[in-house]
Structure 1
């Protein structure tokens, strides 16, 4: 058996052990205590919570962390998780599971959909994080890659470590967390868990450029946990990139050829990828607490997440699952999780064609995506 096949097989057994451990563990705090039907959100962005939307048989379809979700051209909701027994789960809008596949990505993280000549394709980011083979709980780091896939799971091509094309030194990690596809087909890869560069390739996977990283003379280009990226076409004549710099609690805007435009600071919100819908940017908020302010052994596991909505003027207008956002002197003030603790960690949002939002959660105690019905 090859090393990779052996790793994946062992990961399956490790995931099963972790499942038992998770079910018997005491939660860090009593998140997800709100009931189905509760209303959350603010202003024009208010939603009814449906935590039991997904109809999943846990003996047939396997969940660990729910990382991201997209809606395809047929109206199906396609989710990626990091349980390598079935990384991809496909739902209809009623929550019924239509399909599940994928045994390739123990660190399955990013999921981007593009349409090529009328056909949907998926770009999957394998982040390189996987469970330890020893205890099935400890996370270990390895290099990742990006895979371009058909909707039924056939590999088209992969993008591997930039060291192989002379763009990274051998000691530099490559752990991609997200991709974005430009109107001309160019592929932007956010190396958010690796070396914090944004790498640009053409539609065939040929390298064009990189920018970002951590040690630029112009600090506007520095990224800290470049967790997400999106192509912003709200102004079709002037498309831009929005890049998450989660460690800086900010979105950074760049031109499509990598020139910094502006930084939008988001107070205490450690946001995930930007999801553009209409005139607004939505995102999951993974954490809202300061890591040093909680008395727990692993503060990154403390569950303080929710979601946010930002308008075209870069102003946060709603925080479903969190407190109402407040500005003083045009500066966003810290926003905390709501008293009901609707979510654990907001990792991604998907907005369907009925304006409903589906929230994927990391460290969500193996819960499926939560549906927020727009009201």
Structure 2
């Protein structure tokens, strides 16, 4: 905090600098004391949390945050975040919120981040979604094809997986805008083409194409995906490992076998969820939107703030919505859940759960704020 006081006392802040600081809660707001005084409580049932928006201490003049897309925890306990500001795509924090490292200038549409233990070594799979800002005005978003990169934990590139037309899986006019990856214990890589053509693409550990499934126009509509935003390996039942795939446009998770056979669909009322994150027996996810775009009278309804997070048990029942209302079921069907009155979050995009059951929430369109820490009560 001494750096902050010195800056404020210097009197040299111009309007642009003031605007930057206004978007960095870690530098503007006073940190609440360690007893939790002043921190709101959110969540339901056994999943209640104190909200700590000032957890991370990021100097906005040295590190740059646009959207905080995803976060994982490595074998050393460090929290590794990807954003889409290509001046420093990857930011590494310790659990106190101190920045330990930053690297990466490769991903103007940096989106997905998956960590895998390969023989005792951490590796990262990064999804470049292909959504980038126009060079003409720096605001307009432009769609282009993306790719997946396998990286060492300190930023050395190992290999990439590019457009599936190179292996005959797509035709050249099909978009490839991957949003997420999952890696099975045998090394098979599953890529969710969530902003492109909505297929799940399967490769072996060396990047050799195996199969694709999903897409949009199947005779069996159970296989159809709409914004296949996330994919996760689900090993909670060791005898029946499977994949959980996000179909965000359908407000659902879909379960598939590892060879792409549809198993079941879990409808989630109005929750437009991001990737599934499995921790213990539970599935966690960010909720990017909970409103129907046609029902808000704003020019860009996708920017309307209605996000939060959710926790789903092993029976596929939502048991808590931190930042949202308490989930309610009627006749076994989840009813619509709205954002809480405090508007705790902007748009929940990803969650990372540490060994103490704390949850770190990354936000899209979050006014350049750092991840929010939810301290388990």
- What corresponds to 1:16 in structure 2? none
| Partner secondary structure for residue 166 of structure 2 | helix
Runs (4+) of structure 1 moved beyond 2 Å? Answer: 19-26
Deviations along 1:351-375, whole A, 9 cap, x unmatched? 0011000000000000000000000
- What corresponds to 1:157 in structure 2? 159
- What corresponds to 2:287 in structure 1? 285
Deviations along 1:119-158, whole A, 9 cap, x unmatched? 0000000000011111111111100000000011000000
Q: Give, in angstroms, the shift of residue 165 of structure 1.
A: 1.0
Alpha carbons 1:22, 1:365 under 8 Å: kept: no
Indicate how the Cα distance of structure 1 residues 21 and 105 shifts in structure 2: closer, same or farther if over 3 A, else same: farther
Distance of 1:47 and 1:88 partners within structure 2: 26
1:286-305 → structure 2 map (5 Å cutoff): 286-305=288-307
**TM norm structure 2:** 0.91
| Partner secondary structure for residue 374 of structure 2 | strand
Distance of 1:20 and 1:135 partners within structure 2: 21
Distance of 1:20 and 1:94 partners within structure 2: 26
- What corresponds to 1:51 in structure 2? 53
Deviations along 1:318-343, whole A, 9 cap, x unmatched? 00000000000000000000000000
Distance of 1:264 and 1:66 partners within structure 2: 27
1:58-73 → structure 2 map (5 Å cutoff): 58-73=60-75
| Partner secondary structure for residue 98 of structure 1 | strand
Q: Give, in angstroms, the shift of residue 21 of structure 1.
A: 12
Alpha carbons 2:20, 2:60 under 8 Å: kept: no
- What corresponds to 1:373 in structure 2? 375
Distance of 1:48 and 1:91 partners within structure 2: 20
| Partner secondary structure for residue 164 of structure 1 | helix
Distance of 2:217 and 2:17 partners within structure 1: 42
| 1:185 has 2:199 as partner | no
- What corresponds to 1:6 in structure 2? none
- What corresponds to 1:239 in structure 2? 241
Number of matched residues? 350
Indicate how the Cα distance of structure 1 residues 340 and 156 shifts in structure 2: closer, same or farther if over 3 A, else same: same
Deviations along 1:31-71, whole A, 9 cap, x unmatched? x9xx9510000000000000000010111111000000000
- What corresponds to 1:10 in structure 2? none
Stretches of structure 2 lacking an aligned partner (at least 5 in a row): 1-15, 24-28, 33-37
| Partner secondary structure for residue 114 of structure 1 | strand
1:249-328 → structure 2 map (5 Å cutoff): 249-328=251-330
| Partner secondary structure for residue 349 of structure 2 | strand
Residue among 78, 102, 124 paired with 2:104: 102
| Partner secondary structure for residue 282 of structure 1 | strand
**TM norm structure 1:** 0.91
Distance of 2:67 and 2:18 partners within structure 1: 15
Q: Which structure's CA Rg is the greater one? A: 2
Q: Give, in angstroms, the shift of residue 20 of structure 1.
A: 8.2
| 1:119 has 2:138 as partner | no
Indicate how the Cα distance of structure 1 residues 20 and 208 shifts in structure 2: closer, same or farther if over 3 A, else same: farther
Q: Give, in angstroms, the shift of residue 237 of structure 1.
A: 1.4
| 1:195 has 2:197 as partner | yes
1:79-98 → structure 2 map (5 Å cutoff): 79-98=81-100
Distance of 1:135 and 1:20 partners within structure 2: 21
Distance of 2:175 and 2:274 partners within structure 1: 20
Deviations along 1:250-297, whole A, 9 cap, x unmatched? 000000000000000000000000000000000000000000000011
| 1:207 has 2:209 as partner | yes
Indicate how the Cα distance of structure 1 residues 20 and 186 shifts in structure 2: closer, same or farther if over 3 A, else same: farther
Distance of 1:293 and 1:338 partners within structure 2: 18
| Partner secondary structure for residue 364 of structure 1 | coil
Stretches of structure 1 lacking an aligned partner (at least 5 in a row): 1-18, 27-31
| Partner secondary structure for residue 70 of structure 1 | strand
Indicate how the Cα distance of structure 1 residues 20 and 165 shifts in structure 2: closer, same or farther if over 3 A, else same: farther
| Partner secondary structure for residue 165 of structure 2 | helix
Alpha carbons 1:272, 1:285 under 8 Å: kept: yes
| Partner secondary structure for residue 123 of structure 1 | strand
Alpha carbons 2:21, 2:60 under 8 Å: kept: no
CA RMSD of aligned residues (A): 1.7
Q: Give, in angstroms, the shift of residue 23 of structure 1.
A: 5.8
| Partner secondary structure for residue 146 of structure 1 | strand
